[in-house]
Each structure stands twice: as structure tokens, then as C-alpha cells.
A and B are shown apart, each in its own frame.
Chain A
Amino acid sequence: MKKLLILGAGTAGTMMANKMRKKLARDEWDITIVDQFKTHYYQPGFLFIPFGLYTKEDVVKPKSDFFPIGVNVIYSSIEKIVANENKVLLADGVVLNYDYLFIATGTRTAPEETPGLKDKLWHKEIFDFYTIEGAVALNKFFKTWQGGELVVNIAELPYKCPVAPLEFVFFADAFFTERGLRDKVKITYVTPLPGAFTKPRATKMLGELLKSKNINIVPDFNVAEVDNDNKKIIDYAGKEVKFDCLVSIPTNMGDALIERSGLGDDMNYVLTDKHTLQAKDHKNIFVIGDAANLPTSKAGSVAHFASEILEENFMCAIEGRPYTASFDGHANCYIETGYGKGTLIDFNYDTEPLPGSFPFPGVGPFGLLKVTRTNHYGKMIFRWLYWHILLKGREMPIDSEMQMAGKKL
């Protein structure tokens, strides 16, 4: 029996377990997946929790609901990947050997990387919304908050789901308007980027949207520390922004396991070939999802598109053929803009988000870089698709390769 080992049972790892079990003969391939946690979180749903639009129950299911029959599941933390010996050490001295390894250990928030962030105001007046605990604590706080300076700060690039902080401020604008508190809440978006987003057209469109909603933006701000006593964030150049409520997108890091295994960059992301998805220097290791150091978004859509590439290239690898699939960095993000509307961006390594229609040229139904009601429904429907189609490795009605048709240059 040949052994395929998958580390991490989040979005990417679970998808791959489902895809590969269907693809690989059961009498030839043994598939094992390892994760330390038993709960699967629908992470795109965290954003909705602070505003009472989703509850915790809406975003939580047991991981075991999504594993196919015929895959070994081990709940354990992972000590180390010994790549040169094709083995993985788990906690308690368990050793797993593999012929091929998929690393899908994701990324996590690391608030401890910023001095003062996880201090006495943590989850009291300073929150994150990238963890269930943070999102729930913020929901509780917003219920009684009477207003003040609401500051949303991105600590460092890259971070998971790059549009989520923008959606957060759009939601906050609508939320406090509906509560009759908007004139008492000053919303400020503080980012290390030179504008609302990275690429010119999306930055312009989203920047104008921020302005129209009376949300201030402080660009080029690289936070160095959080001053809990005077309630302000300070950047390396000495700039300061005061807050009454700070919502932080903390530094993101890959799993510490990657550092222990000597496979990562200085953020613990695995060094990965951006087209083949093969780990650098290790032919029998592939990397999928946020764990990889690919120069694209850390997002579920990227993991999904990459999963189809990985499936194809893995089959090439085991059959001794040259790789036939090449990942283009495709990302596709629905952006909630509040009041039941949303916008959409679709891009890859080489093409910035452009206006147009998606997925059918000229027809849509979704509008790229446009604020529409249909885009919002797309995001709402996505939760169902996620649980029932995407995680189970079933076919989604979107091409893994980004399409230029329908986009306007």
C-alpha cells in the first residue's frame, strides 16, 4: 500500500481528502489526515458574528461530518515533518511514514507578535474577529457600546481573507447607522497598504466606497505597539492613532510546526512553487491553502482553485508524467458592503481585479467591482455551497483558472 498523508483538516485539507479518496484506488492507496482540533469553522462567517448577523452555531460543525469513508483520521498535534526521511512525528511519539505528503496546516493569527496587543484590554476594548472567541466577544461589546473612535487596524501583510477588514468597516457603518449611533461612531481604517487595497482599480473603487460611507483611511501605517493606558496604536515611524475600540487584524503566521520542520519562510509559510504547488526541494511534498507562501490571497477560494491543480499534478507525479496543471493564483472574493449589497473581485498572480460580469460574460449574474444586491446573495448562498459542495470536493460551477472573458480592461 502506498501512503498519502495530509496534515491539516481545514478547508484545504478536507477538500483534498475528499478529492483524492475518489481518485485513488482503495486497494493501492492508504489516505490519512491529521488535525489537532475536532471542530470545523466556517471562517467566512466570523465577520458576521460581531454584528449579530450570524451566531456561533451558524459557523460550527464537527470535522468528522466532512471526511469521506475510507480515510484514516487522527486527532493529534504534530511535532515535526522530517522531510528527508519521509516521516511525520506526532505528539506522544507516534510516527507516520508517507510516500506523498500534502501540507494544509493553514495560517493563524498571532496577536502576541505586536507588543501590547494581547494585553489588559484584549477582548475588553481590543478585539479580533478572526477567531470565534474574538468575534463573539466583540458581538457582546457592540450590544452596549455607546460610540467613540472605532479603529480597524491591519498589523501586517499577508493576512487571511484580505477583504474582510473592509467588509467589517462597511458592516460597522450600516450597523451603527441602523442603531442611530453613526454620528457618535468615528470609523477609521488603518492599513500598512498605501490605500484601501493593493491593486489600482480595486483600490480606487473601494477607496471611493470608504469615502462615501464617511470612513477615514490612514494608509502606510505599520503598527509597532499598542498603548493600552492611553488607548492608541503607534507605528514604527512614530505616527499615532487613538481608539476607544480597536479591532485588530493581528499578524498572521503559518503553523509553528513549519518552523520546527525547517520548511518555511520567516512567517512560517512553506516555500512552495507557485505554479506546480510542490514544496521547494521536496518532490513528494505538496502544499495547499494558506500554509503555502504563494504570492496570492490567503483565502478559501484560492485553496479551492488550487485543489484542482493539485489533484491533477499529484496524479502526474505518481504516474511519473510531467506536470500538466499550472496554478495561476486565482482568487475570487465576495465583498459585503452593508445594507444587503455586495461587490465582487476576481483576479490572479498577473491580472488585477477588473470590472465586468461574472461568471458568464455580459450576463453575470454577479457584477465585478460593482455594488449590487445579487453579489450579496452570492455571499449568502456560499455558506451552503461551502458545507455541501466545496468541502466534500464536489464540482463547483466556476473555472479554477481565472477567465478574462467578461472582464473590461
Chain B
Amino acid sequence: MATKTIAGVNINVNEEGYLTDPSEWTREVATEIAKEEGIELTDKHFEVLEFIRNKVMNGEGLTIRGIGKSGIVDAKTFYQLFPGAPLKKATKIAGVPKPVSCI
């Protein structure tokens, strides 16, 4: 475990840069992590991030399907907002653990 200064605050992160304590997350932290990922956050991004945070805080699993059914974005838009690996990027920016594929 390490700490990293993000948006002027010391934040606990793991070796991949995911927050280890979701309560340390702020919009400023998100904006800065997003910048590192090459993403400029819009209101739509934040809606998705809030949805993800709520899901994770409730102990529910995250899937691209679930986000596509959220009513906020469809799966295609989700890909456009977080290009490449949307679930990995979105969770990193949302300050929650990286989803594990458990098969």
C-alpha cells in the first residue's frame, strides 16, 4: 500500500493506483485521476461515477450490462466516456476497487 498526493491531498492507493479507501474520494480527486487516464470529466461522467460508487457501497457487483441498464448511459456511450477498458477506468476514477473477473 502506498499514498499518493492527488489534488493536494494524501490518498491511500494500491500499486495500480486504485483508491484503497473509497471515502477519501472527492470530485477533485476524480478529476485528477481522470486526467492521468486522458479523460476530461463531464457531468455525464460524474453521473456514471456516482452510480458506480452507490453500487459498490451497497456491496453489489459491477458489470458493463448493469451500467448499460442504469438509465444513465447505454453500454456504447459508457465505452465512449471511458474508452478502452471502461469498467477498469471508471472504477479507478470513481475511487472504488478494480472489479475482479472471477471465473
Contacts and interface: CB of A to CB of B under 8 A. Distances in A.
Interface in B25-50: none
A158 B85 contact: no
Contacts of B61: 265, 293, 295
Interface size class of A (residues with CB under 8 A): 20 to 34
B103 A157 contact: yes
Contact of B83 (A237, A295, A296): A237
A295 B61 CA distance: 9
Interface size class of B (residues with CB under 8 A): 10 to 19
A159 B103 contact: yes
Nearest to B69: A266
A266 B63 contact: yes
Contacts of A297: 102-103
Contact of B103 (A158, A267, A293): A158
Contacts of B79: 222, 236-237
- Pick the most buried of B65, B66, B79, B84: most chain A CB atoms within 10 A of its CB: B65
A146 interface: no
Nearest to B83: A237
A189 B61 CA distance: 26
Contacts of A266: 63, 65-66, 69
- Pick the most buried of A237, A266, A297, A349: most chain B CB atoms within 10 A of its CB: A266
A156 interface: yes
B64 interface: yes
Contacts of B5: none
Contacts of A257: none
11 contacts: A156-B63, A157-B63, A194-B85, A222-B79, A236-B79, A237-B84, A251-B65, A265-B61, A266-B65, A295-B61, A295-B102
Given A297-B103, A298-B103, 12 more contacts: A157-B63, A157-B103, A158-B103, A159-B103, A198-B100, A198-B101, A220-B84, A222-B75, A237-B83, A265-B61, A266-B69, A293-B61
